[in-house]
Amino acid sequence: MQGKLKIVVDDMIPFIEGVFEPYAEVVYMAGEEISREDVIDADALILRTRTRCDASLLDGTAVRFIASAAIGTDHIDFDYSNSHGIVVRNAIGCNAGGVMNYVFSALYGCASRKAIPLEGKTMGIIGVGNVGKRVERMANYLGFKVLRNDPPRAEAEGRDGFCDLDTLLESSDIITLHVPLDASTRDMADASFFSKMRDGAFLINTCRGEVIVEEDLIAARPHLGPVIIDTWRHEPRINRELMDVTDIATPHIAGYSYAGKQNGTAMAVRAVARFYGLEHLYEFFPATEVIEEESVKLDLRGKKQGEIASLIQYNYPIFTDDFFFRINPDDFVRLRSEYQYRKEYYVDY
C-alpha cells in the first residue's frame, strides 16, 4: 500500500496503544466524540459500540475499513458500508467466556440470597450464538434442563433442538437473553413477553438494553423472580426506577474479563493488519503483563448448590459490581472505563 495509513482508534480499547504506530499515523479519541471531520482522511477505524458508523460519519471520507473490538454491530449501518465499499469486521465471540461467568455468578448469587433451589430447574436461552452456546454448555454441565430459542439457527439447521419463544417463556425457570439487536429483537421483551413467563422466573439480560421495554418490565416485576440487568436502554443514562427493582444491576460489564478484552483487541488488530497487509501483526495478541490474564479452572461436578455458589462468587464476586454501580449510577461511563478486568473461570466439560 502506498503512503502511510491513518487509523482513528477509540481510546478506551485496551492493549492497543503503540501497536500500529510503526505502520500508521494513529489518532486516539473518545468513541462518542468521533466526528466526520475527525475521520475525513482516515483509512481505517478501530472502534467499540459508542461510535455510530453511518452516512453522517462516513460520507465523503477516505475510510475503507472498520474494525470493532466488540461483538455488537448495531452501531454500524451495513447498507451504507456495503454500498460504499467499506469493509466491516467485528470481534465475534471475544467476550463469550466473561458473559457466561457473569450469568452463572448472578444466577447462583441471587439463588443463594433468596434461598431458591436450582436443582431440576429449566434454563431458557434466547439467542444461542457464541455467548449462548457457552451458557448452554455450562448449564448442561451443572445439570440444568435447557431450552433453546434461536430462529435463524433453527431455520438453517432444522428445528430439532430448538423451540418457539412462547414455549420457552412458559416452560423456563430461568430466562437469559443473548440476542443481537436488530429489527426482530428490538422491544422483544415487552408486556406480552413478561406475561408468558412463569411466576418467580429469573430474568437475565446481558445483550442489549433495547431488547427490553423497561416500563413493561417494571410493571411485570411483581410476578417475576430475580431480575439481573447489565445492559440498559438509554446508556449511559439509567432508568433509576428499573434499577431499584433489580436484584443485580451492573454498568454493561458482563463481558469485561481480561481474556475477553485481550481477544477483542487481538481480533480487531488482526483484521486491520490482514486488510492492509501488515504481516508482522497477522498473529498479534496482547502481551500478558500481569497475573490477571490467567483463567481459573473450577471442578464443580457433584458439588451441592451452596458449594457451587461459593466457588463461583469467590472467583467473580458480582455483588461488588452491583454495589459500586448502585452508589454511583451517574458514573456509568467512568465505572466501565476504570473497571478492573477480572479473571475468567472455566470447567472441564
Give yes or no for a contact between 177 and 206, defined as CB atoms under 8 angstroms apart: yes
Q: Please tell me the distance from the alpha carbon of residue 269 to that of residue 24, in angstroms, as a whole number.
A: 13
**Marked catalytic residue, from 134, 208, 233, 342:** 208
Give yes or no for a contact between 297 and 348, defined as CB atoms under 8 angstroms apart: yes
Nearest to 280 by CA among 44, 19, 68, 87: 19
Active site residue 235: yes
In this structure, what are the phi and psi dihedrals at residue 182, rounded to the nearest 5 degrees?
Answer: -150, -170
Give yes or no for a contact between 46 and 67, defined as CB atoms under 8 angstroms apart: yes
Q: Please tell me the distance from the alpha carbon of residue 280 to that of residue 282, in angstroms, as a whole number.
A: 6
Active site residue 21: no
| CA 165 vs CA 6, 155, 251: distances in Å | 46, 14, 27
Report which secondary-structure segment, H or E, holds 346: strand 345-346
**Marked catalytic residue, from 252, 270, 336, 342:** 252
Q: Which three cell numbers stand for residue 216?
A: 413493561
**Marked catalytic residue, from 64, 235, 293, 326:** 235
| CA 348 vs CA 194, 301, 302, 321: distances in Å | 35, 9, 13, 27
Active site residue 208: yes
Beta pairing partners, 89: 67
**Location of C-alpha cell 440487568:** 229
Give residues with Cβ within 8 angstroms of 302, minimum separation 6: none
Q: Please tell me the distance from the alpha carbon of residue 319 to that of residue 286, in angstroms, as a whole number.
A: 29
Which residues are marked as active site?
208, 235, 252
